[in-house]
Amino acid sequence: MIGCAVGNGISLMDLADRFGTPLIVYDLGKVEENYKAIRDNLGARVLYSIKANPNLAILTFLRKLGSGADAASPGEIFLALKAGFEPGDILYTGAFRSLDDIKYGIEAGVLFNFDSRREFERALSLGYRPRTVFFRVDLGYGRGFAPGVVLAGEESKFGMFLEDAIDAYRLAKSVGVEEFGIHAMMGSNVLDPDYFIRIAELLKEYAETIEYRVGIKITYFDMGGGFGIPYRPDEKPLDLNRLRILRSFFPGELWVEPGRFIVGNAGYLVTRVTEVKRKGSKTYVGVDVGMNVLIRPMLYGAYHHVITCNDSGEREVVDVVGPICENTDKLAVNRELPRVNEGDILVILNAGAYVYSMSSNYNGRPRPAEVVVYGNEYAVARFREPLESLVAGQVVPGFI
């Protein structure tokens, strides 16, 4: 991105004027660059993690690039199929799935990644007899940018420790499963390449023990996601060159499930200044987007860099706040920015992952439009929700 422009010089200010604000813009050229970088450096089968951003245009674009899909729910399976993914290119990973969730996956014909032996037993009770099955293990080692995204140990609800995993693989072998995969997802937004090398070492050790104890051969080694992007200006990007060692690390196929790494830095949340309020020693820059769209700073204390598209040369320390009736509706706190005025445009960076997908209609706020850019072209990929969407699916019972 150069000077509030994306693609081949398409102005975010012009897009804001044409489509209104708040607005989320995705640069598909950046999505393509990120996808190819992780695929080519790791030599891996890439399954895009739909939960990061389920926009149908992005899913279709990645499918055409050759990506598979990582789905966490029937809804994400539905979206992947809508985008043209074949069932065999969708890995269905979940935890504590209901029988209806399991049944949907069986009927859709997708690959299953089971979180526990009991979950696999419940699938078997529905008549499920797969040729290929994955199980999710807990390697006891994880890392993340916040406690809630460290997915290892007893405090994590996901996966199985080694002995439980051995029991699950034994059951799968006994019912005729022919191909086996092993899966581990241990953390989120990690920028240290040594972390991923350690995860690979542990995953390989677990697989070797399982193979020896159960008498099977594991074909697919899925390291999950967690590949990070820099959110702060002083952070260094993940060095994928260091991870080229993983290309021949496993005796079978390496699979990875990046979401944020592919789409995170390709998204721009464009918002307009509604008011500048000075209150005592504080200056609040109010904008027309709030925590109903970008909840990560409030949920995790996450940082998103903010830039202005009008630089007066003067600078001041401000809080960038939204219109939601919560005092936690603060998108950036004590941030030094160029002095802005009502009507100016701000751009919140790294808005491609876990922004729209975690949004809501809280405070009766419809969600924004989404626009995709590719080179010199751009188009709406999702329309702004009208007020009528707030009552969609609702009825007033006759007895009221």
- CB count, 10 Å around CB of 78? 14
User: Token match 């990929």: residue?
Assistant: 381
Catalytic residues: 325
- Helices 99-108 and 74-82: crossing angle in degrees, nearest 10, is 20
Using DSSP bridges, classify how beta strands 315-321 and 330-338 pair: parallel, antiparallel or unpaired: antiparallel
For residue 137, how many C-alpha atoms fall within 13 Å in the half-sphere facing its CB? 29
CA distance 161 to 331: 38
Partner residues linked to 315 by β-bridges: 338
CA distance 53 to 354: 6
Amino acid at 214: V
DSSP assigned state of 352: S
CA distance 165 to 123: 16
User: For the chain, how many residues are written?
Assistant: 400
User: Token match 């769209």: residue?
Assistant: 293
Which tokens is 210 given? Answer: 């399982």
Residue 220 phi, psi (nearest 5):
-120, 130
CA distance 221 to 200: 9
SS3 181: strand
Q: Which of 38, 92, 94 is nearest to 66 (CA)?
A: 38
Contact 22, 367 (CB under 8 A): no
Which tokens is 204 given? Answer: 């390989």
CA distances from 146 to 149, 232, 237, 303 (A): 6, 15, 18, 11
CA distance 23 to 358: 15
CA distance 167 to 326: 48
CA distance 284 to 370: 27
